[in-house]
Structure formats: C-alpha cells, structure tokens
Structure 1
Amino acid sequence: MIAWLNPATGLAGDMFLAALLDAGAPLTVVWGAIASTGLTGWDLTATRVVDHGLTATRVHVSVEDTATSRSAAELISLAGQAKPAPVADLAVAALRAIAQTEARLHGTDPDSVHLHELGGHDTLVDIVGVAAALHALDVTSVYCAPLPLGAGTVSTRHGVLPCPAPATVALLDGAAVTGTTLTGETVTPTAAALLRAIGASYDPVPLLHLGTTGYGAGTRTLADRPNVVAVSLGSSTVETRSLVMLETTVDDVTGETLGHVLDRALEEGAHDAWAVPVTMKKSRPGHVVQVLASPQTAAALSELLLAETGSLGIRSYPVARTALPRWTSSVLVGGCEVRLKSGPHGSKPEFDDVAAAARTLGLPLREVARRAVLGGDQ
C-alpha cells in the first residue's frame, strides 16, 4: 500500500496518527503496540471533529508522567520493545534520528543526549502509534507533498528560537518544503523524524488505484482554513513480475522458420518473442531468438525453441518486467470499427483494423489512425 500525505497546514505527530486512524487503522491495534513497549500511565483517545466544515479525527494523548525532559536512550529502549518487530524498528529509527540531530546541534554524543521538549512520553505514544498504524494499513511507501514551513519564533528550553526549530530543519534535510502565510511551528520535530525514518519520498505521486483518504486534525485553530493533514491510501497500478528470458543464437535457420518459431512461441503462452540479427564467429550472419516466458511455461517453450530451430542449447536467466496498466476500447472511423490499445501515456490503434478501414474507405493509413486516436466518428 502507498500513502500520500498532503500536509496543507503542516504536520505534527498527533495529526499524522489521527489521519491514519481516520483512514482505517484500528485504534485497538495501535493501542496494543504502544502497550507492548511497557509504557504505563498513558491514555490515547480518538474523537471526530468538524473543522471549517471538514470532518476529521483528532487524537488526545494523556500521560500521568508529564515530564518533558528525559534521556533519548530511555525512549529508544521502550520503543525497541514494541510489537510487532517492524513497528519497533520504525519507532527506534525515528527516535534515533531525533537523538542524533539533537546531539549534533548541541555538540554531545547521541548515546548520552538528553531530550527536553521531545522527551515526554507523549512523543513515544505518537511515534509508536504512527509506526503501528502504518504497519496495520500495510503501507510500504510514503509520498509527501511539500511541507509548509511557518515563520516566527518558538519557545524552547534553550530560549526563543526561530521557526522552524533548528532540530526540525536538520531532520528535514533533503525534504521538499515551501513557505506559508501561517506563523509558528507548522512542522514538528516528531513529524520530521517520522518522515525521515519512513524514508518518505517528495517525488510526484505514482499512478495509483486510489482508496481511502483520512483526515487528521491538529489542536491549533486557524481562522480561515481547517487545520488538517490528509492521508490518501492507494495501490500501485504498475505491475512487476518475475519472468524468464530464453534465448538461443542460430546461423542456419531460414526466415520462414524463424517466423514460424516466433508465432508458435506466442501461441504456446510466451509473453513476447523476437529475433535480433547479429554477426557471429567467422563473420557469419545469424539471429538471436529470444522468448519472454513465465516460470511455469519456461520449460515447454525451451523445448519448442530447441525442436524448431535445431539449436544445441538454450540460455535462460531471470528478468523483472514492469508493466503499466493497459486497456482496449474501440471507435468507429467512417463506420469501420477500429480497436484502440491504451495506457497511461497514450493510445495506439490496432494496425490490422486500421489497414482494413483504410482499404474500405480509400484513405491513407495515417489518416485512419489519426482519426481513431482523436475519437473516431463522434
């Protein structure tokens, strides 16, 4: 599953978690993962709110231990106990990113760094909660729109610092960001650390079969817009399959036989088949005959190649084929049916149909093809 984040007003750890819950992550599963860390004295609730006419989910984290300053090692140790293991791995990676960043900014060692504003147990709840929600939704990659960074200042243990906070800027190294008219901390270090640990991509979203979209509300109230982040889930429309390439090189097979071999291979289930002219030893002209087969048909197609060409051997090796979605439709050109093979980047008319229509209508091939691509007799 692919997740696409649209942080129109910014992103915080609790907003990220709320959006994932709104998109369908079970609260009980998230709760169980947080509980498995051994953390006590906390509570996590999710409620539905309406912000500027948009319904969203807001989470509230309460902890009995309200201290906001503790060692990063303590939080990392707790996160490492989370179940299942992938949840722990992501949570630990996010907390280590925070610890390494703070250590670099303050000239200390990551193993001994002490977190101040980020040292609260609510940070652990947010981070483990997001990791658990992503795992529950089977999200394998995350894409994120440019993050809006607000101006102004933020109060910290070290005094008043410019926004975005230095830790946030460091954690967002390599991220796509943009300015905003909003002031204050629009992206928190917790959110930035999660994006870094996830390996979020800021490239354009790939082709998707779009599914559920969840909205996570922040605690800040804005005068003119909903303070929400949207998380859209989708599955990739690009299919990658493991296939087998079969090939043999021949110099004593006639053109008629080569054509017959390729036709037979396609009839017997090959995904594709072709012959490439080559110059062989002693400068003899020949052909490399190649057949793209599934693992299930590779053996039978190998036998076909050997039997029809008389070759003494076959080379075979695994290949990965990435295929975009495609579909077939039909249009009428001058009353003649022409099938169209279409994909994400364009359409191509079926040649046999174009040739038949051109003969019937007395038109050039290119004219029939042009009219077919434009929609035919509309």
Structure 2
Amino acid sequence: MSTLAFDGRTGASGDMIVGALLAAGADPDVLGPVESTLDVRYGIDDVMKNDIRATGVDVVRDDRSDPGHDRHGEHDQGRTHAEGTGPHRSYREVCELVESMGLASEVEADALAIFETLGEAEASVHGADLDSIHFHEVGADDAIADVVGAVLLLADLDPDRVVTTPLSAGGGVVEMSHGTYPVPGPAVVKVAEKADWSIRGGPVEAELLTPTGAAILAVVAEGCETLPDLRVEGSGYGAGDRDLDGHPNVLRAIVGDAHGNHASHEGITVLETNVDDIPPEILGGLQDTLAGAGARDVTVLPATMKKSRPGHLVKVICRPEDARAVARKLAAETGTLGVRATPATHRWVAGREIETVSIAVDGEDYGIAIKIASDDSGEVYDASPEYDDAAAVARETGATIREVMARAESAWREL
C-alpha cells in the first residue's frame, strides 16, 4: 500500500504542505488550473532552513507584461499568511471560485471539504452560521492557491493512504484581525476537534500550525503517533516563512510502500471498573448486554480487591461517541459506583471478510463461516472458523467442535 506520511514536529501551513508535496515528487504542472483561474503564479525555489534544503512556495500576482516571467521563478520569502494576495471572499464566493476551476471531481470535493472545515471552524468561533462567514486571510488568492494546490499535488502523487504524526502548534500568542490570542488560535483548535490527528505545544514560542494547514490535513490525513513502517521511495521538505532558533521551520513528507500493517484504525475509549460481588452469570452475560449499547470488546479479568477479597476487573472497548451509553449500561448491569474512562488515540483494525466453506460429515454437507483477517496490502494472515457454526454442526453430528473447526479451516485453505 502506497503511503504518504507528513512529519509535523515543526507545524504545518498551506504553503509548507504544497512545498513538501512538490519536494516529494509531485508535478508542478498540475497547478495550472489554479494559476489560470486566479491569475497568479506559484514561485517555487530551493531555500535553506537551519541547513536543511527545502522547497519554498510563494503565490504572487501574475505579471504577463514581464517578458522574463517564469512560472516557477524565485521564491519571495517576504510573504506571510496575514498579508495575503488578492481579495478576501465569503465562504460561498470561495466555493463558487473552486467550482469554476474545472477540477477533477475528487479534487474539487476535497478542496470544498477543506473550505467547509475552515468555514465551520470560523462560524463556531464567532457564533455565526456558515453562509454568513467571510474569510479574511483564508479567502485571499494565496490561501486558495495553497488549498487547491495541495489537493492537486496530492492527487498527482496518488497515495493509497495519507497520515501525519502529531502536529506541533507552537506557543505564545498570535496577532489576529480580532485581537491577540494564545497559540494555537481558536480556529486551529476547532479544526483539531474534528481531526483524526493530535496537536502538541512547542517547541518554540511562535505560531507553527495555521488554520489552512490544519484544515488541509484534517480532510486528507489520518493521525499516527510515529511514522509508519515504510519502504521509502521519495521524500522532501516544505519550507515555512519563519526562521526558528534551533529548529528548521520545515514540514517533511515521505512517500513509501507500507507492508504488513493493519488495514485501518478507529478511535476508541477504554472503560474499566472493579467489582467484587457480581454473580458469575451476570459477568458472563456482559459480552451480550454491553454490545447492545455499543461495546466493541469486553474482557473480564480476575483481580484481588481491598482486604484481599477476590473480584474482577471489567475492561470495555468502545467508540468515544458510545462511551457514555456503554458506561451507563455497565453501571446498571453490575451496580458499580464508578467507571473509569481512558481515552486512547486509536486501535488498529484488520481488514475483515466472511467466507463460507462446506464440509462433509457422515455424507451430509454443512456450511461453516470463516472470518478472514488481512493487512493493508491485502495479505491474509489469519482465517478462523466461526465458533457458533462449528458448535451447531458438532451438536447435530456428534463430532467435536475442535474437529469441525479444523476441518473447516483445512477446507478453506484448500480453496
């Protein structure tokens, strides 16, 4: 599975993402629709950031009267996100502009999703509705070019999966049009609420994660705590505007082939409670009773309680949005006075399919479901007959459950 991984330890902005994708091998010629629609050009140049060579990108007004003009010309390191190029626009105006670019449907959908993410964040911060939002810096030509350029370049690289490590937001305060705010700014925090990845403070007192950068990654990237196992095929650095003391202001992108990882991951919450006076029938039934409330997995472990009393530790895995309902059901079923909730970033989940095989017992054919587990490259690493099916065949035929399961697995492997 081809994977593009962003390493966000010194933050991310729109132009850093564009620069990183270009440095990782994306074709700058795909940026043409943005340049022609906005009448701008991407200035692309190699720059040095704390002895790291990176790709700097600046969006400037296109001067067709300049005979020496080069679309991929000298990078103007004077641009900042607050300055912006061209007019500021409403959310609807931005959407109409994107829709006029004649983009491929997938690219247009991603670009519109990014601006919707930005618009909803601004609307939430200011207590307004989406249609009334007017973008300032984000509605300028350079910000639009960053967003659409990023999705065009990403489509050119065409990875199967995009991930990012935790993004450093920086620290201190940031000057905005509405006043001074602590870093990360309000819009970045709102975007991060809906993102799959996490943010962290530092490593310097400066704004490192911009709303545009956060929104792009919120739409296109999954979160990962560390870089995944990759056979690296390409890499590069996108340069930010700042020169940071002791930290290169760059965003790294790595492109490679990932093998042997689970197919996907999902956010989870782990619930726990200790009980010491529950009948075994109640404990044994928690798998079924809690599943109805949203539990994904239930484990009951023996434990030693206060004054050496024997008891049990009940651990439940569920989705964060189901945690309240599952905790309430756990309390009702066990009578416990407290349930601990521990947020976890995610759990890796294998690809799962069910196939049915037929086995013959005493001349009669019986169907057994087989659960197939595969990694993200589609390689099967486990095949398990369903216990309930095997038990039903065993009861009917007099064979042992173990024998039925072994024959079912053998039949599947022969297929």
TM-score (norm 1): 0.65
What is residue 48 of structure 1 aligned with on the other side?
46
What is residue 15 of structure 2 aligned with on the other side?
14
Q: Decide whether aligned partners of structure 1 residues 210 and 160 sit closer, same or farther in structure 2, where only a CA change above 3 A counts.
A: same
Give, as a single letter, the amino acid of the residue that structure 2 aligns with 1:49: V
Structure 2 Cα separation of the partners of residues 75 and 59 of structure 1: 21
Contact 1:33 1:132 in 2 (8 A): no
Larger radius of gyration: 1
Contact 1:246 1:290 in 2 (8 A): no
Aligned to 1:118, what secondary structure does the other structure show? helix
What is residue 3 of structure 1 aligned with on the other side?
4
Contact 1:149 1:178 in 2 (8 A): yes
Give how far 1:117 is off: 2.4
Structure 1 Cα separation of the partners of residues 228 and 410 of structure 2: 26
Residue 189 (1) aligns with residue 211 (2) = yes
After superposition, where does 1:354-369 map in structure 2 within 5 Å? none
Contact 1:2 1:234 in 2 (8 A): yes
After superposition, where does 1:69-148 map in structure 2 within 5 Å? 69-82=88-101, 83-148=103-168
Give how far 1:165 is off: 1.1
Give how far 1:23 is off: 0.4
After superposition, where does 1:223-242 map in structure 2 within 5 Å? 223-238=245-260
Structure 2 Cα separation of the partners of residues 201 and 45 of structure 1: 30
Structure 2 Cα separation of the partners of residues 148 and 116 of structure 1: 24
In the alignment, structure 2 segments of 5+ residues that lack a partner are: 63-83, 264-350, 364-380
Aligned pair partner of 2:232 in 210, 221, 234: 210
Give how far 1:2 is off: 1.2
Give, as a single letter, the amino acid of the residue that structure 1 aligns with 2:10: T
Aligned to 2:219, what secondary structure does the other structure show? helix
Give how far 1:223 is off: 2.8
Structure 1 Cα separation of the partners of residues 248 and 411 of structure 2: 53
Give how far 1:32 is off: 2.2
After superposition, where does 1:51-70 map in structure 2 within 5 Å? 51-63=49-61, 66-67=85-86, 69-70=88-89
State which drifts further: 113-122 or 285-294: 285-294
Give how far 1:273 is off: 9.5
Contact 1:97 1:171 in 2 (8 A): yes
Aligned to 2:246, what secondary structure does the other structure show? coil
Deviations 1:93-140 (A, max 9, x none): 000111111111112110121112222111110000100111100123
After superposition, where does 1:229-378 map in structure 2 within 5 Å? 229-238=251-260, 245=355, 247-252=357-362, 280-282=394-396, 284-285=398-399, 287=404, 289-290=407-408
Say what the alpha-carbon RMSD is for the aligned residues.
3.2
Q: Decide whether aligned partners of structure 1 residues 272 and 152 sit closer, same or farther in structure 2, where only a CA change above 3 A counts.
A: closer
TM-score (norm 2): 0.60
Give the fraction of aligned pairs with identical amino acids, expressed as a percent.
30
Give how far 1:248 is off: 2.2
Structure 1 Cα separation of the partners of residues 121 and 382 of structure 2: 52
Number of residue pairs matched by the alignment: 278
What is residue 363 of structure 1 aligned with on the other side?
none
What is residue 169 of structure 1 aligned with on the other side?
189
Contact 1:209 1:235 in 2 (8 A): yes
Q: Decide whether aligned partners of structure 1 residues 106 and 24 sit closer, same or farther in structure 2, where only a CA change above 3 A counts.
A: same
In the alignment, structure 1 segments of 5+ residues that lack a partner are: 254-270, 303-378
Aligned to 1:184, what secondary structure does the other structure show? coil
State which drifts further: 144-153 or 132-141: 144-153
What is residue 269 of structure 2 aligned with on the other side?
none
Give, as a single letter, the amino acid of the residue that structure 2 aligns with 1:51: K
What is residue 316 of structure 2 aligned with on the other side?
none
